[in-house]
């Protein structure tokens, strides 16, 4: 873990003011917020809300706001001008190319799909070039989305984390801008900007829930974790917003696939340091197959997750994809994972002590309103079609594991050791 410069991991960077800048920069309509009324009733919850990022700028994932906002921040800094005065995407593109004699800058990144597509889209809109590397086994459809925006894309023989290092090397060799959505040694500025781009969806979601249900606010939030940039940014936003309004910050559930559960393992270790997960990181939930946490995302999660770190079996993501399809929402693997897990938790068999313990620990019940981000649509159409044909996977003893972590200020008067309880 490398040490971020002072201020880098402060939630204030990700609050409502930042979200307002991001929303103004893009100037687009919010993505839909879909209430799952039937599921909420069946799961004995007051509300379940899906923020549907499959509809974000036609790019099927929230990542596009991060990639494009981050690239815009880099370009405006390079020009020495305030981003807010650049006239949005079109204005920035024109000014940059004018100042650079029409010569675009090359941005290089590694991706398991959505971030690379975001960078390719951003480069195209902003008049720049993108070079993208992908880990072995990446789906052809995800490659096609990237090359479809005119970017160069290569599928390597490496796992995600090695591929990230490879992209950094390529940048050095070629004088390109290394443009990653996670941190590295002395590399914090760009991932911080990308994270700021993610705050907009949280801002939209809170407004939409309030409007939909007469001022209601989420009591719980579920966030998927790959490197933890998205979860750190959204949680950072929620901490800032709810504290500014004097309200209790939603109880947070962090979700990972069981074979790439670096946040879960780090939380289980319990001293604030990170644990890397190595190997193939094999899971169909491709967007979350990361074994090394962001040095901006993790400190925010460690300090502010008042809830639980959870790892799940892939089958629960498939259940969620089918459930959302039946509600008219297109959900890829990452999106389905959140709903599939909440359903598993709320519809657990009566003798499922583990689920009961987690529900109790999180205070999940009839008063709870749960916000879940459908972070992607069918970004791998072949697997999407396959999953839709499969039957639901029944609850199993080890289809999820958790570390409960309630913060001292919100937990009951139990001793600290009890509050930071690790499930065996
Ligand atoms: C669809 C989707 N959801 C969630 C995530 C997790 O985001 P992060 O890697 O910032 O934790 C990703 C990351 O690629 C993703 O593509």
Q: Are residues 212 and 318 in the same domain?
A: yes
Instruction: Give the pLDDT band (50/70/90) at residue 287.
Output: very high
Q: Are residues 57 and 70 in the same domain?
A: no
Longest dimension (CA), the chain: 69
Q: Are residues 183 and 228 in the same domain?
A: no
What is the DSSP secondary-structure string of 27-80?
-PPPPPEEE-HHHHHHTT-SEEEEEEGGGGGGTTBTHHHHHHHHHHHHHHHHHT
pLDDT score at 176: 98
Q: Are residues 242 and 349 in the same domain?
A: yes
| Phi–psi pair at 264, nearest 5 degrees | -60, -45
pLDDT above 90 (res 107): yes
Instruction: Give the pLDDT band (50/70/90) at residue 413.
Output: very low
pLDDT score at 3: 86
Q: Which of 63, 129, 170, 311 is catalytic?
A: 63
Q: Are residues 251 and 379 in the same domain?
A: yes
pLDDT above 60 (res 421): no
pLDDT score at 280: 83
Q: Are residues 387 and 320 in the same domain?
A: yes
**What is d(CA 331, CA 87) in angstroms, rounded to the nearest whole number?**
33
Residue nearest to atom 15 of ligand 1 (CA): 287
The CATH number of the domain holding residue 29 is 3.40.50.1100
* Ligand 1 pocket test, candidate residues 54, 288, 292, most atoms within 8 A of CB: 288
In a domain, 6, yes or no: no
Query: Is 271 among the catalytic positions?
Result: no
Q: Which of 112, 203, 380, 399 is catalytic?
A: 112
In a domain, 416, yes or no: no
pLDDT above 60 (res 415): no
Parent domain of 397: 11-62+190-409
Instruction: Give the pLDDT band (50/70/90) at residue 1.
Output: low
Instruction: Give the pLDDT band (50/70/90) at residue 408.
Output: confident
State whether the beta carbon of 61 lies less than 6 angstroms from ligand 1: yes
Calculate how far, in angstroms, residue 60's C-alpha sits from the geometric centre of ligand 1: 12
Q: Are residues 179 and 196 in the same domain?
A: no
In a domain, 316, yes or no: yes
In a domain, 272, yes or no: yes
Q: What is the pLDDT of residues 12-54, one digit of tens each?
A: 999 999 999 999 999 999 999 999 999 999 999 999 999 999 9
In a domain, 210, yes or no: yes
Q: State how many domains the chain has.
A: 2
In a domain, 1, yes or no: no
pLDDT score at 419: 38
In a domain, 421, yes or no: no
Calculate how far, in angstroms, residue 300's C-alpha sits from the geometric centre of ligand 1: 16
Where a domain ends, among 157, 187, 217?
A: 187
Where a domain ends, among 138, 158, 187?
A: 187
Q: Are residues 167 and 213 in the same domain?
A: no
Query: Is 203 among the catalytic positions?
Result: no
pLDDT above 80 (res 110): yes
Q: What is the pLDDT of residues 235-251, one digit of tens each?
A: 999 999 999 999 999 99
Q: Are residues 282 and 363 in the same domain?
A: yes
pLDDT score at 32: 98
* Ligand 1 pocket test, candidate residues 65, 115, 226, most atoms within 8 A of CB: 226
Q: Are residues 30 and 108 in the same domain?
A: no
Q: What is the pLDDT of residues 57-104, one digit of tens each?
A: 999 999 999 999 999 999 999 999 999 999 999 999 999 999 999 999
Q: Are residues 101 and 36 in the same domain?
A: no
- In 10 A of CB 385, how many CB atoms? 10
pLDDT above 60 (res 379): yes
In a domain, 423, yes or no: no
């Amino acid at each position: 873990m490398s040490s971020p410069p002072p201020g880098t991991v402060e939630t204030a960077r990700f609050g409502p003011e930042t979200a307002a800048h991001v929303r103004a920069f893009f100037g687009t309509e919010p993505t839909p917020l879909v209430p799952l009324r039937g599921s909420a009733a069946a799961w004995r919850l007051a509300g379940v809300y899906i923020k549907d990022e499959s509809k974000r700028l036609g790019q099927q994932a929230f990542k596009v706001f991060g990639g494009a906002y981050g690239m815009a921040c880099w370009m405006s800094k390079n020009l020495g001008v305030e981003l807010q005065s650049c006239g949005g995407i079109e204005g920035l593109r024109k000014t940059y190319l004018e100042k650079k004699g029409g010569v675009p800058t090359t941005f290089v990144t590694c991706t398991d799909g959505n971030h690379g597509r975001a960078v390719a889209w951003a480069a195209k809109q902003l008049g720049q070039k993108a070079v993208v590397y992908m880990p072995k086994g990446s789906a052809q459809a995800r490659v096609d989305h990237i090359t479809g925006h005119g970017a160069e894309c290569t599928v390597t023989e490496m796992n995600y984390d090695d591929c990230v290092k490879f992209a950094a090397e390529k940048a050095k060799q070629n004088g390109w801008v290394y443009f990653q959505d996670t941190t590295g040694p002395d590399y914090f500025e760009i991932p911080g900007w990308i994270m700021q781009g993610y705050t907009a969806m949280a801002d939209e979601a809170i407004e939409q829930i309030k409007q939909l249900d007469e001022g209601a606010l989420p009591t719980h939030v579920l966030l998927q974790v790959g490197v933890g940039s998205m979860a750190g940014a959204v949680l950072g936003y929620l901490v800032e917003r709810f504290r500014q309004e004097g309200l209790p910050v939603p109880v947070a559930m962090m979700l990972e696939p069981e074979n790439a559960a670096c946040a879960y393992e780090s939380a289980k270790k319990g001293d604030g340091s990170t644990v890397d997960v190595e190997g193939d990181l094999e899971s169909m939930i491709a967007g979350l197959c990361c074994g090394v946490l962001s040095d901006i995302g993790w400190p925010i999660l460690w300090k502010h997750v008042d809830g639980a770190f959870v790892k799940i079996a892939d089958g629960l993501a498939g259940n969620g994809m089918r459930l959302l399809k039946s509600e008219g929402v297109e959900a890829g693997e990452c999106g389905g994972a959140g709903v599939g897990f909440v359903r598993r938790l709320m519809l657990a068999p009566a003798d499922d002590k583990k689920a009961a313990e987690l529900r109790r620990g999180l205070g999940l019940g009839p008063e709870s309103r749960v916000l879940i981000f459908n972070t992607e649509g069918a970004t791998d159409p072949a697997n999407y079609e396959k999953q839709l044909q499969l039957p639901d996977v029944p609850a199993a003893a080890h289809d999820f594991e958790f570390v409960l972590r309630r913060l001292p200020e919100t937990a009951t008067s139990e001793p600290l050791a009890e509050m930071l309880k690790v499930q065996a």
